[in-house]
Amino acid sequence: MPVAQYRQPQGTPNVSDSQAIAIIKQKAISRLMNIYNGTSFPVQQSDLYVYPQSVGLIKRFYVVLTATLTNTSAVNDATLTDGGIANLLSNVRFYDTQQFLRHDTTGLHLTLVSSLKRNRPFAGGADWNQRNGNSVSEMLNVAPASWGILDAPATIAKNTTATVRAIFEVPIAYSDRDFRGILFAQSVNATMSLYLQFNQNAFVDTTTTPTLDDTFACYKGASGTFTSTQVAVYQDFYDQLPRDTSKGGSPENSPYILPNSSLSTAYMLTRSTTSGIVPNQESYISYQNFRLYMSRFLIYNNSGQTGGRTFGTDIQYLREISANFAPYFQYDPLFAAFRTREILTHDLPAGYYYFPARFKPIYTTQTGNRLTGLYPTAAGNGAYITAYDEYMGNQNVLMGAASAV
């Protein structure tokens, strides 16, 4: 059976990626368009498909949720989990113009990647405005988080409804400077979709059932429902793309100046879960072939229950190794947390581990069958490892590899 090929849009063949990007930044118009507004009711329908505008070069989408959460318990209050409002979206998928699945992950993963790229919490505001007598740290007198960009009460009282607000970035290009993954959408035949799944397990009643896992919930301690949400989606893209008229053709008949190598690259965010973890026996998560990995996150829960995520007391070491078990690095959980703090300037929740590769990406064609190893000293029957991966690859190669499996 023939392998489907990624169809490269018509561009100028003799212009390098860096030249094309420079010209696009200079001559194209950067636009941020509100492409969707609506209200969804996750208690009735947890899925929403948003269809982007077929125009320009798409860099990213922003998804803004203003959600109503209802504590249905008549006895217990609900408290915010570690993942909090990042868990409002339990699944996010993006299918590009070739119907190739680029992203298949969660709102939590989107939040982690957006934060680590910026070396600060995504959409976060620092408490700069400190006072010591008459000495102030800012010219403006502004309280921390005075704008309600992100909203989430620490507690939702029994039989009470609360409003929370969250923002998610769905990247298509790697960044504003690095166009790898950027999507050419300026075609009347372009069809693509952004799929959002609202978390129907936004509440876990860990008071009534202490064994419930709160890792991927918004609130714990009481039963509740994700009642409704207003959804706004913004498309960030370049419009009025420049054309190459050097051969004397009219602008409308001349090819676009495009970063061809960046367009043939897919930037992807995916997730996987490993179970059957055995104590005092190393568990492995492999890197896939033909990919350039920028980062990996692991979440380890030693019981599959609430309280199963610890600050490293259940793991002897974390490491990455080659196929012949030669280590690239090996360290304990506290050193892993130190590396993360140096990059992010604050800590991740208990049981979260970040493996940075942003400054020296892991190219699996070069490194071969590379593995991430986790050696647990505690692991119950329900123990699991969730892996969140961020990587790139040539789209034709990835499509061919997928069809060959």
Which is it for the CA torsion 264, 269, 275, 281, positive or negative? positive
Instruction: Give the model's pLDDT for residue 191.
Output: 87
87: which DSSP letter?
Answer: G
Instruction: Give the model's pLDDT for residue 401.
Output: 63
Same domain, 69 and 196: yes
Give percent above pLDDT 70 in the chain: 95
Pairwise pLDDT comparison (368 vs 263), residue with the higher score:
263
196 - beta bridge partners?
48, 92
d(C-alpha 165, C-alpha 67), whole Å? 6
pLDDT digits (tens, 9 = 90+) for 387-396: 999 999 998 8
Pairwise pLDDT comparison (251 vs 13), residue with the higher score:
251
Is residue 255 in some structural domain? no
Which of 230, 197, 202 is CA-nearest to residue 78?
202
Is residue 391 in some structural domain? yes
> Residue 186 — very low, low, confident or very high, per pLDDT cuts 50/70/90?
confident
pLDDT digits (tens, 9 = 90+) for 108-159: 999 999 999 999 999 988 888 888 898 988 888 888 888 999 999 999 999 9
pLDDT digits (tens, 9 = 90+) for 331-363: 999 999 999 999 998 899 999 999 999 989 999
Checking if the pLDDT of 3 tops 50, the result is no
Is residue 299 in some structural domain? yes
d(C-alpha 71, C-alpha 157), whole Å? 7
Instruction: Give the model's pLDDT for residue 2.
Output: 41
d(C-alpha 165, C-alpha 185), whole Å? 30
CATH of the domain at 314: 2.60.120.20
Same domain, 171 and 309: no
Instruction: Give the model's pLDDT for residue 78.
Output: 97
Same domain, 102 and 162: yes
Rounded to a whole number of angstroms, the distance between the first and last alpha carbons of the chain is: 12
Instruction: Give the model's pLDDT for residue 396.
Output: 86
CATH of the domain at 230: 2.70.9.30
Is residue 254 in some structural domain? no
| Helix or strand run (H / E) with residue 237 | strand 224-239
Q: Note down the domain range covering 77.
A: 29-125+150-240
Same domain, 208 and 309: no
pLDDT digits (tens, 9 = 90+) for 4-57: 455 556 566 667 899 999 999 999 999 999 999 999 999 999 999 999 999 999
Same domain, 82 and 199: yes
Is residue 5 in some structural domain? no
Same domain, 87 and 228: yes
> Residue 403 — very low, low, confident or very high, per pLDDT cuts 50/70/90?
very low
Same domain, 38 and 120: yes
Considering the entire predicted model, what is its pTM?
A: 0.93
- Structure tokens belonging to residue 386: 């969730």
Q: How many domains does the chain have?
A: 2
pLDDT digits (tens, 9 = 90+) for 314-334: 999 999 998 778 889 999 999
With beta carbons less than 8 A apart as the criterion, state whether 223 and 117 touch.
Answer: no
Average pLDDT over residues 88-101: 96
Is residue 10 in some structural domain? no
Helix intervals (H) in 42-103: none
Place of tokens 């829960």: 301
Same domain, 300 and 159: no
Amino acid at 352: Y
Same domain, 185 and 289: no
Is residue 250 in some structural domain? no
Amino acid at 173: A
| Helix or strand run (H / E) with residue 59 | strand 57-71
Instruction: Give the model's pLDDT for residue 402.
Output: 54
To the nearest whole number, what is the mean pLDDT of the chain?
A: 92
Same domain, 382 and 271: yes
Instruction: Give the model's pLDDT for residue 281.
Output: 96
In degrees, rounded to 5, the angle at the alpha carbon of residue 377 between the alpha carbons of residues 374 and 383 is 70
Question: At CB < 8 A and 24+ separation, what contacts does 323-327 make?
Answer: 323/368, 323/369, 323/370, 323/371
Spell out the residues 6+ positions from residue 312 whose beta carbon is closer than 8 angstroms to its own: 332, 333, 334, 336, 337
Checking if the pLDDT of 270 tops 80, the result is yes
Is residue 99 in some structural domain? yes
Spell out the residues 6+ positions from residue 22 whose beta carbon is closer than 8 angstroms to its own: none
The secondary structure of 135-169 as a DSSP string is EES-SS---TT-S-SSB--SEE-TT-EEEEEEEEE
Instruction: Give the model's pLDDT for residue 146.
Output: 86
Radius of gyration of the chain (CA): 23
